[in-house]
Amino acid sequence: FVSGLLLIGQAALLASILHQLIIEHVDKHQLISQFIGLAVVIGLRALCSWGREICGYRCGEQIRLHIRQLIIQRLQNLGPAYIKGKPAGTWASLVLEQVEEMQDFFARYIPQMSIAVLVPFIILVAVFPMNWAAGLIFLGTAPLVPLFMALVGLGAADANRRNFKALQRLSGHFYDRLKGLQTIRLFNRAEAEAENLDVASQILRKRTMEVLRLAFLSSAVLEFFSAISVAIVAVYFGFAFIGELNFGNYGAPITLFTGLFVLVLAPEFYQPLRDLGTFYHAKAQAIGAAESIVEFLNLEADEMNQGSENLPSPEAITIEARDLEVLSPEGQVLAGPISFTINQQEHVALIGPSG
C-alpha cells in the first residue's frame, strides 16, 4: 500500500517537472526541491520493495521448515520398514526439492496477489479525478490480463505434477543404481542401466520442457495484452493533444501534466498483474509439490508405537521368547512357534526358510 502511494507521488513529481520545463519554461534551478523529492520517493520505493522481498523470503523459509519437520516426523512415525519400501532418492526428492518448490509460492505469489489488487486500485483512484476516459481504459483492459493468464495456465499444475513424478522416479532410480554400482559391474549390466537412466532423464526433460513452454507462453500473452493496453492510452492522449478527441477531462483542456501523469502510471497499472502472471508458475509448481506432500502426510499406514521405558543395567540384559512366531505381511508363519533364552555375551542362530 505504501509503495502504491509512493508510486503516485513519483508520477506526479515527474509529470510536474516535465510540464514546468517544457510548457512553462521554468528554470531548472527553481525545481531543485522537486528533483530532490523525486529522488527521495524513488529511494523509498526501492526500500519498500527490498523490505517486501526480505519479509516474503523469511516467511517462506519458516513455512518450508515447518513442512519439512512434518515430513520428517511422519517418516519417524512410519519407521524404517516403510521407508525401505521406496528408493532413498524418492524420499530425498520429497524432503528437499519438493519442499523447496513451495518457497516462491509463499514468498512471492501470495504477497503479489495483494499487490495486484491494491496498486491498480490506488492508481484508478488517482486517475479518475483527472481523466475519466483513461480510467475507463484501465478499468476495461485490466480483467484481460488475469483472464488470459488463467486460460493459458490451466494445464500448468498438471504439467508440474507430472514433472515432480518424473523427478521422483529419476532420483530414486539413480540413487539405487549408485549404491549398487559394484554389483551392476559384476553382472555386466552397466550399459543396460545407463540406457535406463537415459530413458528416465529424457522423460524428465520432456516434462520440464512442458512446464517451461507453458510459462513462456503465459509471459508472452501477458506482455502482449499489457502493451496493447498501454498503447490504447497513448493513442487516446495523442489524439486528445491534437484536438481530435475532446472528452474525458471533465470539460477542461488536457494538459501535458495530465497526459504524462497517466502515461507514467499506465505501465505501473499493469505491472502488478504481469508480475502475478509471472509468479503464476510458482503456484503451479507449489500445487504439484503440495499434492505429493499432502498425499504422504495423509497416508494411512501402520505407525510404530511410541513410548519410553527405562531399561535395566546393560550387565543384566537377557532376551527371552516364549512361543515366538515370525509372520509374513500376508500373515503366513515363516518361523515358529519357538522358545529360547539369550543371555549376555551369547551368540544364537535362528534358522528358518529363506526370506
Query: pLDDT, tens digit, for every residue of 58-105?
Result: 888 888 888 888 878 887 777 776 777 666 666 777 777 777 777 778
Give residue 250's region: left, alpha or beta (phi > 0; psi -120 to 50).
Answer: left
Tell me what percent of the residues of the chain surpass a pLDDT of 90: 1
pLDDT tier at 315, thresholds 50, 70, 90: low
> What's residue 306's pLDDT?
59
* β-bridge pairing 333-342 and 319-327: antiparallel
> What's residue 28's pLDDT?
79
pLDDT, averaged across the chain:
78
Taking a C-beta distance cutoff of 8 angstroms, is the pair 296, 283 a contact? Answer: no
> What's residue 191's pLDDT?
78
The C-alpha cell that represents 76 in the structure block: 519417524
**Cα 205 off chain centre by:** 20
The C-alpha cell that represents 52 in the structure block: 517486501
> What's residue 158's pLDDT?
65
Taking a C-beta distance cutoff of 8 angstroms, is the pair 130, 262 a contact? Answer: yes
| DSSP character at residue 314 | G
Query: pLDDT, tens digit, for every residue of 172-193?
Result: 667 677 777 777 777 777 777 7
Return the domain boundaries, the chain: 63-297, 315-355
**Cα 169 off chain centre by:** 22
Tell me what percent of the residues of the chain surpass a pLDDT of 70: 81
Residue 331: pLDDT above 80? no
Taking a C-beta distance cutoff of 8 angstroms, is the pair 274, 146 a contact? Answer: no
Residue 302: pLDDT above 60? no
> What's residue 355's pLDDT?
52
157: number of CA atoms within 13 Å, CB side? 10
Query: pLDDT, tens digit, for every residue of 131-165?
Result: 888 888 888 888 877 777 666 666 666 666 666 66
pLDDT tier at 239, thresholds 50, 70, 90: confident
> What's residue 77's pLDDT?
76
Residue 304: pLDDT above 60? no
Residue 50: pLDDT above 80? yes
Q: Which CATH superfamily is domain 63-297 in?
A: ABC transporter type 1, transmembrane domain (1.20.1560.10)
Residue 305: pLDDT above 60? no
Indicate the SS3 state at residue 335.
strand
Query: If we measure between CA atoms, which residue out of 274, 280, 265, 273 comes closest to residue 4?
Result: 265
On the 0-12 / 13-18 / 19+ scale of CB atoms within 10 A, 340 is: exposed
Taking a C-beta distance cutoff of 8 angstroms, is the pair 338, 324 a contact? Answer: yes
Residue at grid coordinates 524428465: 204
DSSP secondary structure, 253-313, as one string: PPPHHHHHHHHHHHHHHHHHHHHHHHTHHHHHHHHHHHHHHHHHHT-----PPP-------
> What's residue 293's pLDDT?
77
Q: Give the chain's count of helices (H) and strands (E).
A: 13, 2
Residue of 168 and 234 predicted with greater confidence: 234
Taking a C-beta distance cutoff of 8 angstroms, is the pair 56, 111 a contact? Answer: yes
